[in-house]
Amino acid sequence: MEVQCAGVEPPRQGPPHKAVGLIFSVLLGVWSVQALEMSVGKIPFLEAVNGSTVMLPCTYSSCIGIRDLYFDWQFNNNGTMQRVCQSVIASEGVEPHVSIFRERVEFVGKNRDNNISIVLWNITFEDGGQYTCFGRNPKEKDKNHSAIFTLIVVEELRVVDNTLTIIIASAVGGAIALLMGFMLLKNFTLFVLSKLEEKNKECLVTSSGIDNTENGLSGSKADSKSTPKKK
């Protein structure tokens, strides 16, 4: 027999799919934090002169660590991806053996500070374009991650016209100098006026003492004379 209390309703449970969705969102957020990340720095491009040597930076990071991390560099040659180098890093701190597939390329990362950067020697105009730093970590079910770095090869670096900057800096500097000169002149004027005011006060005190002496007031010579006695 089922007994029900009057005026008391049993607690209602939300739809099961909402609870499942919440759990899935939490797990997805934790997973995204732990995921592998590839980075080419805050400025993902470089403009370099033809014939120079440049470094293409790339680092990786993972909160859950790595195991047999596969990485490679690829060059986008007019829509065709060409492999530049590749290797597998067994674990943290282990220096990988890197295979190079392109001339004038040197691997300089050596897995120090999770660094997998490369250097291009004596670059030519054909070396200009997009380079992709790719990584895949088996510890997160072989998810793919990548970052793109753009190399721009020029005949010579552009000369930046600093005329406007110089004019603005000169104007600001002149205004500051003028303001400082005005403040110095103001302080000097106030100092001179204060000295003149002190001198005027001294003159007034001195002249007041002279007047009292001449008029025979207290402290003057007239007071020092005794009154003659009557015979």
pLDDT at 6: 47
Mean pLDDT (whole number) for 120-149 = 95
pLDDT grade, residue 231 (50/70/90)? low
Residue pLDDT, tens place only, 49-71:
999 999 999 999 998 999 999 99
Q: Which residue has the higher pLDDT, 1 or 12?
A: 12
For residue 166, the model assigns a pLDDT of 80
Please state, in angstroms and rounded to a whole number, the distance separating the CA atoms of residues 152 and 63: 33
